[in-house]
Amino acid sequence: MKVLKFGGTSVGTAASLRNVKDIIEGLDDRAVVIVSALGGLTDKLIATGKKAAVGDQSYTEDMAAIRERHHNIIRDVVPEQKQPEVFSLIDSLLDDLARIYDGVSLLADLPTKTLDVIVSFGERISSIIVSRMIDGAQHFDSLQYVKTEKWFSKNIADTELTNRLIRETFAENFKVAIAGGFISTDRDTGEITNLGRGGSDYTAALIAAALDADVLEIWTDVNGFMTADPRIIPEAFVVDHMTFIESMELCSFGAKVIYPPTIYPVFHKNIPIRILNTFQPDAPGTWITDSPRKDDIPIKGISAVRNTSLVEIAGEFADNVPEINSRTFNALAKHGISVFLVRQPDENRSLFAFAVTMPELDNTLKAIKDEFAPELKSGKISEIRSTTDLATLAVVGESIRKMPRITGRLFNTLQRDGVEVLASSSGGSQTTISFVIKESDVTQALRLAHASIFNDAN
């Protein structure tokens, strides 16, 4: 059995939906198909809610446009004999959505719980449309079996309960099952929640893992993982194969192909992932598995996280590497803050540094200053400072550990062409080396690094 996930660009237009129909109806295997909201709709749902909350009455025009878009899609892709049923189901949901917007406008308030309900309509509607578009498909409501729990004020999947419910739900006989990604309900209250950014990928991975699928296919608008962003580096090429760790590292450092938590459920079950292009379905794509292959290229890609902030902790206490590591990561984890680069003190300076995204900087500084308040008071930490408007460049490949000279070579390449390296680090996974640079230098740095590594690779 396969699990397939189609993102917003794949279900964004009537033409792309016809591609989806051809792909699914051409399958020989049983399949569970997870779909996102129509392309761009989630942002539209959020923006319309914000308009309503501030008294901008044009939210009603946006709501009318949302209704018209779905009506047009139904007319274009759903067989005529099924359209009356689909219009009835979809209009009922759209009427509910319109009433919620009216309530938001009346109260001049958009609580998080209400926003969660609003954004759920995208996947609830798209999954119904796709299920009626595909010959012989059955619709399954993700709200019934994807369950979340609260963790530090965030909604995270209750994997044990969700796995059990998935197995029970999909135990019945079906050829093609269609379900919405991203959406979920709280296990205790039953309130509508969602799995956050990358939630549709994560839904697909949870289902694949629970059902022991043969493969998880992520259908998107690119031919697979590429060695770099082709919009910046036209000579970037598709990577045929990479490991789970390599794909997680690349996505953590800015590659947009899949969202890192997606990989965890299937990684633990050793279920391969395949990245494929809805608009070029015959392209071979990228396979992601647990182990390298003999013919793998040594470096899989270069990526960059923009809007980086570098936080530095100076003073004698910074030399206590085990304690400062543990306390820093624990303090940030409590606030859901991710660190994607760490520079340890060395013999030349007592300076511990790590990188976070700029939107997380204020919360990071508060958490770190609270955690190390005793050391700041005693003088064991002399300063906690930050630098903004930076980017983190990452080079990823399982073979990096066997290439000891690559860090120095890349460092010299960047410095020689005027790109100042403010910090560098070998990734904790031993598959990544990363450099902190000025954000204004990121495009040049990506091009220099890609040319240095891949000139002879393809």
**What pLDDT is recorded for position 282?**
95
In the chain, the domains with their CATH numbers are 2-221 (3.40.1160.10), 301-454 (3.30.2130.10)
**What pLDDT is recorded for position 283?**
95
Which residues partner with 3 through β-bridges? 32, 216
Residue 425 pLDDT greater than 80, yes or no: no
- What is the per-residue pLDDT across 140-149, written as a single tens digit (0 to 9) for each? 999 999 999 9
pLDDT band, very low/low/confident/very high, at 349 (cuts 50, 70, 90): low
pLDDT band, very low/low/confident/very high, at 457 (cuts 50, 70, 90): very low
Strands 341-343 and 351-357: antiparallel
What average pLDDT score do residues 88-101 get?
A: 98
> What is the distance between the alpha carbons of residues 231 and 124, in angstroms, rounded to a whole number?
33
Residue 362 pLDDT greater than 80, yes or no: yes
> What is the distance between the alpha carbons of residues 104 and 95, in angstroms, rounded to a whole number?
14
- Between 199 and 456, name the one with better pLDDT: 199
Residue 415 pLDDT greater than 50, yes or no: yes
What average pLDDT score do residues 339-349 get?
A: 74
Mean per-residue pLDDT over the chain, rounded: 92
What average pLDDT score do residues 13-32 get?
A: 96
What average pLDDT score do residues 272-299 get?
A: 95
